[in-house]
Amino acid sequence: MASPRKRSSLEELGDDLVDAGSREHYDDAALYDYEYRRRRADVTFYRELARQRLGAGGRILELGAGSGRVSVPLARDGHTVTAVDQSAAMLAKLRTRAAALPAAARARLDVVAGDLRTFTLPARVAAPYPLVIAAFNVLEHLYTRGEVAACLARVAAYLAPGGAFAFDVQMPDLAWLSRDPTKRWARTRFTDPSTGRAMLYSTNHDYDPVGQIALIRLYYEPADGKPGPTRVVKLSQRKFFPAELEALVAHAGFRVSARYGDFSFAPLEAGAESQVLVCERAEIRRRKSPSRR
């Protein structure tokens, strides 16, 4: 038997970058909330989906809930929400937001620390859920087929019979993925919400077409002409192509019951920015025993 291949330092560095990219973007909850303060279409979508499937109130499990951008509105709507995330900064911000809710809504929101691949819910909230969601590209932090399968197995463990798992990921943009990694893109001037300082934001990335992982660098540097360091934050995202995503879901025992290309329930078409899937457990069809003669 051949001996195991020794991993190169480049491969090890890649793993380190992917790991850092799964965490660093979420370490500054104030900046994160500021950057995505105008992102509302997906919140509206998940609220409407919950209304359609659960009526005025039902049980929802949200994976990768972050600072509660979706969980908090759902709790306000009357749903009982269990919000799972692994970022300490995001969980702290979510708990702060939950504490500020009216008493009735606060009682409907439970915050749990957990990894997408291995989470286990405490007994108080472990009953099956008729709706599980993962909003805003959360599944793009599952970088291998094994990690996707592990996450979907945890979803299946907590999904009620007849329930739905809804999530969104980006539609891979080949032009964006092939951009020159040495240039800076999306230059934007903004005010840091914590310091009040004028800043410049820009980004670039490397893309591994084999692993389908984009290693993104977010640059934050002073825009007021005064000396100051440039802060570089890493963000790693796994890109899923539509047919591949459907196959991964099917392999885990789910079927796609609806697929959209935006958060207005429009069909998935070329040029869409997002893939929004609603999945249900596939029915197990038992083979009929052959009749005896």
Q: Which of 248, 4, 259 is nearest to 147 (CA)?
A: 248
Tally Cβ neighbours within 10 Å of residue 220: 20
pLDDT at 277: 98
What are the φ and ψ backbone dihedral angles of 105, each rounded to 5 degrees?
-70, -40
**Per-residue model confidence (pLDDT) at position 14:** 72
Contacts of 84 (CB under 8 A, 6+ apart): 61, 62, 63, 64, 65, 112, 113, 114, 116, 119, 121
So what's the pLDDT on residue 226? 82
Instruction: Measure CA of the first residue to CA of the last residue in the chain; give whole Å.
Output: 52
The pLDDT of residue 21 is: 94
**Topology of domain 26-171+240-281, CATH:** Rossmann fold (3.40.50)
Answer left, alpha or beta for residue 196, where phi above 0 means left and psi between -120 and 50 means alpha: left
Task: Read off the tokens for 171.
Answer: 């539609």
Q: What is the DSSP string of 17-72?
A: HHHHHTTGGGS-HHHHHHHTTT--HHHHHHHHHHHHHHTT--EEEEES-TTTTTHH
Whole-number Å distance between alpha carbons of 109 and 96: 12
Residue 66's DSSP bridge partners are none
**Alpha carbons 252 and 165: distance in angstroms, whole number:** 12
Interatomic CA distance for residues 152 and 280, integer angstroms: 11
Q: What are the pLDDT tens digits along the chain (293 aa)?
A: 444 444 444 355 478 889 999 999 999 999 999 999 999 999 999 999 999 999 999 999 999 999 999 999 999 999 999 999 999 999 999 999 999 999 999 999 999 999 999 999 999 999 999 999 999 999 999 999 999 999 999 999 999 999 999 999 999 999 999 999 999 999 999 999 999 999 999 999 999 999 999 999 999 999 988 888 899 999 999 999 999 999 999 999 999 999 999 999 999 999 999 999 999 999 754 445 555 44
For the chain, the structural domain boundaries read: 14-19+174-238, 26-171+240-281
